[in-house]
Amino acid sequence: MYAYDEMDRTLVNERVSEFRDQVKRRLSGELTEDEFKMLRLMNGVYLQLHAYMLRVAIPYGTLSAPQLRKMAHVARKYDRGYGHFTTRQNIQFNWIKLSDLPDALEDLASVGIHAMQTSGNCVRNVTTDQWAGVAPGEVEDPRIWAELLRQYSTMHPEFTYLPRKFKIAITASDHDRAAIKVHDIGLRILNNEAGETGFEVLVGGGLGRTPFIGKVIKPFVHGRDILSYVESILRVYNQYGRRDNIYKARIKILVHELGIEKFAAEVEEEWQVTRESALQLDDEVVADIRARFRYPGYEALSDTPDELTAASADPQFTRWLKNSVAAHQQKGYAIVTLSLKPIGGPPGDATAEQMDAIADLAEKYSFGEIRVGHEQNLALPNVAKRDLPALWRQLDKLGLATPNVNLITDIIACPGLDYCSLANARAIPIAQELTRRFANHDLADMIGRLHINISGCINACGHHHVGHIGILGVEKNGEEFYQITIGGRADEGAVVGTLIGPAVPYDDVANVIEDIVESYLALRARPDELFVQTVERLGVEPFKERVYATR
Amino acid sequence: MTSPLQQKIKITGPSVVTANRTWDGIVVYRDGKRGWTPDLADAAIVRTADDARALLAESAADDVVAIGPYIAPVIVKDDGAIEPGNLRERIRRKGVTIDLPIPA
């Protein structure tokens, strides 16, 4: 966990006081909605279909047990007893009253949590691999650099009114769990030949109306130069980004229209000015940030404790172990993913009761730490393997041990038309029906890794473009229809999926997905050929033929 | 962004003006008494573009109580009952179509 200092606490508390005054003036009519809207958005407050929604940042997806308990408290006291974890390491409260928001933010501030820069045309919450600091083989804990970028970009006056929102993601592992290639800036930490830490920098990735995979703008930027290089990108974007057209305002459009070479040349020219500035990071500054991350005092433990051996006789436990437990940097420890995708449930939702219980379990089994991943699941990052059977039993009672992580029922879905004022179609009920269709865990295991991502509109909050199967809700003559894409990926081999044909009506979506999966099972070259590999090998035609042969 | 009042108003049938109440965000409808109601049955119905424009202008001027007013289609049944005219408005009126994790 990162230890915030008095300056951080003062900044967050002062922000709450400012917002309390702004809300008071709005409710009295002193501020019009036009005047207030930007102020509320800067504090993560949206207006949805039925109510205000508060989006709270979880920097680099790391939470302490007290922080998660405070979120449970906010859900219980000011909302309807649950929260929704999003694809960008945020939590959203869907029913909060404007008049309660200052109190809710004050309560969150008491544990160092805030909603700054979770909306607006600024640098948003910097995200990372949810297994940062514990994933085997990572170059370095990427949260150190995410924190540096967070401090640099928070309330940065030059970048508070960018042409459009701006998202940065960082990974330090070969396997990209942070989807860096679909962010405005993607950073991959690596070492150069001299063993120095630096970054491969990608730019211009993004989803939404016009999806693009990020392009490498610089194969290696030394760690000491990363702030100046990021600033140079932001400056070029700030100057040339399309403020005249909201649909063309993201950096991905600028990079596409200029071409990566010309864009890179502009950045390089800017960088020659900023590189030797105060933005150059001294080793001591990085060391200071690094030192503020407190790591657990791991014990010397066995990788094969008796408790684990004994529990392995239970097939339900072994299924969960295989599916939800991953290797850890430390011998005798494991990373445990908590599925927020129960069969028939809304993806990413957790009740206040679950959040409190997870906080208790984190303190008991994971050195008090919880992680939030972009796939809308949680993780306990530091579980001793001897404790896995006991933890599993308790997670199972809480409905958090569905053994479906990375399988077909581990669906990413945006709130869709049930909540969102931008949506054209519902996403959650589609996800719920699909989890029921594929509820049999033996079947899901046989299908193997398969990510279904669902968005209720072209803004693509459900990352449908990069789902192995992507489902996009559209509206046709007042009815909900859904476009299906296949072959997308969000990892290190990121690619945008291919549309298989005309949109299908709401009631037929689950049937179509079943047809696609049946085709895959019949077409795959061997049992361990993943769905995306089959699509890559054969293209979309065989799937298209199957789906539309009778439609 | 273009103000709703500057946009061309075209309606194809009975319509209401709807918005969200400022202090808590709930769905409200403009009534016929220059106020807001959470009950669609009490909403003012307009049937011409001119009437819709006038109701929207009056609603937008009342910025303190409700925000984001816009014109939404409704269906007026033979018995006079009013129902939302599209899926979005049905969801806004009746709430989410899924079971909430904690029943309301």
Residue A333 has pLDDT above 60, yes or no: yes
SS3 B43: strand
Query: Is pLDDT at B30 greater than 80 in this prediction?
Result: yes
Q: How far is CA A33 from CA A99, B35, B37, in A?
A: 14, 18, 19
| Tens-place pLDDT, residues A235-286 | 999 999 999 999 999 999 999 999 999 999 999 999 999 999 999 999 999 9
List pLDDT tens digits, range B44-73: 999 999 999 999 999 999 999 999 999 999
Cβ A429–B25 below 8 Å, yes or no? no
Q: ∠A523-A515-A210 over CA atoms, to 5°?
A: 95
The arrangement of strands across the sheet holding B27-30 comes to B36-37, B27-30, B15-21, B66-76, B82-84
User: Could you read off the pLDDT of A148-169 as tens digits, one per residue?
Assistant: 999 999 999 999 999 999 999 9
Given a contact cutoff of 8 angstroms between Cβ atoms, the answer to whether A53 and A93 are in contact is yes
Task: Kindly determine whether residue A50 and residue B95, on different chains, have CB atoms separated by under 8 Å.
Answer: yes
> Residue A473: pLDDT above 70?
yes
Residue B5 has pLDDT above 70, yes or no: no
Percentage of the residues of chain A whose pLDDT score is greater than 90: 98
**Given this model, what pLDDT does residue B102 score?**
79
pLDDT number for residue B101: 85
Query: Do residue A417 and residue B98 have CB atoms under 8 angstroms apart?
Result: no
* Residues in chain A within 8 Å Cβ distance of B27: 49-50
Distance from CA of A171 to the nearest CA of B (A): 33
Residue A419 confidence (pLDDT) above 60? yes
Rounded (10°) CA dihedral A101, A107, A111, A113: 0
Q: Rounded to 10 degrees, what is the CA torsion of A216, A218, A222, A226?
A: -80
Contact B101 A81 (CB under 8 A): yes
Which residues have CB under 8 Å from B20's CB, separation 6+? A47, A51, B26, B27, B28, B66, B67, B68
Q: Does A417 touch chain B (CB under 8 A)?
A: yes
- Say which amino acid occupies A26: R
Residue B2 clears pLDDT 80, i.e. is over it:
no
CA distance, residue B94 to nearest chain A CA (Å): 10
- Which residues of chain A does B63 touch, with a Cβ-Cβ cutoff of 8 Å? 29, 32-33
Interface of B with A (CB under 8 A): 20, 22-27, 63-64, 67-68, 86-88, 91-92, 95-98, 100-102, 104
- Residue A62, beta-bridge partner list: A371
Is residue B8 scored above 90 in pLDDT? Answer: no
